[in-house]
Amino acid sequence: MAKISYYTEEGLNKLKNELNEMKTKGRTAIAAQIAEARDKGDLSENAEYDAAKDAQGMHEMKIAKLEEIMSNARVIDESAIDSSIVAILSVVKIKNRKNGMEVSYTLVSEEEADLKAGKISVGSPIGKGLLGKKVGEIAEIKVPAGLMEFEVLEIGRFS
């Protein structure tokens, strides 16, 4: 059975645009490479032709994978999210109990995670540890560096 993935509207649109780009410009560019290599003569000993055909196969495989992801993608209904607990699309402000550092993260699907943008995956150790917590609760999270404790300071909704 295929895995259902949940996306924000923005994340799903980004995926659609990527797929469209691969189907149009990507296929056109590879077709041009194949035509150019074919024009160079004997195909039985043409390494450029073989490389272009391999690139075409890989490109089509990526398109098929994206199409499969898209067929199992669901947009998250943001109005149904309970903002009293940490859930997907929650914006959560946490405090590291050891060093007092405060940071805010938005919990998103694995495919949309982007640490630079403050988006962490619900499947990451910190994301898993925060799910279901309420303001004031302590999340004990096992990370590669050991056990960390985070206090949930605020929970907001993704906008």
Residues 74-88 pLDDT 10s: 887 766 667 788 988
Dig out the tokens for 18 from the structure: 């990527």
Domain around 16: 5-75
The percent of residues above 70 in pLDDT, for the chain, comes to 93
Q: Are residues 67 and 98 in the same domain?
A: no
Please say whether the beta carbons of 102 and 1 come within 8 A.
Answer: no
Q: Are residues 96 and 64 in the same domain?
A: no
Q: Residue 104: pLDDT above 60?
A: yes
Residues contacting 59, CB < 8 A, separation 6+ = 22, 26, 27, 30
In tens, the pLDDT along 12-25 reads 888 899 999 999 99
In this predicted structure, what is the pLDDT of residue 57? 93
Q: Are residues 52 and 85 in the same domain?
A: no
Residue 59's pLDDT band (cuts 50, 70, 90): very high
The percent of residues above 90 in pLDDT, for the chain, comes to 44
Q: Minimal CA–CA distance to 152: which of 108, 76, 87? A: 87
Q: Are residues 90 and 65 in the same domain?
A: no
Residue 92's pLDDT band (cuts 50, 70, 90): very high
More confident of the two residues 23 and 47: 23
User: 59, 75, 91 — which closes off a domain?
Assistant: 75
Parallel, antiparallel or unpaired: strands 73-75 and 119-121: unpaired
Q: Residue 133: pLDDT above 90?
A: yes
In this predicted structure, what is the pLDDT of residue 139? 92
Dig out the tokens for 113 from the structure: 């995670």
Q: Range with the lowest mean pLDDT among 28-37, 74-83, 124-133?
A: 74-83
Tell the residue number behind the tokens 């949940």, with chain if given: 6
Q: Are residues 108 and 64 in the same domain?
A: no
Q: Are residues 45 and 87 in the same domain?
A: no
- Rounded CA-CA distance 143/130 in Å is 13
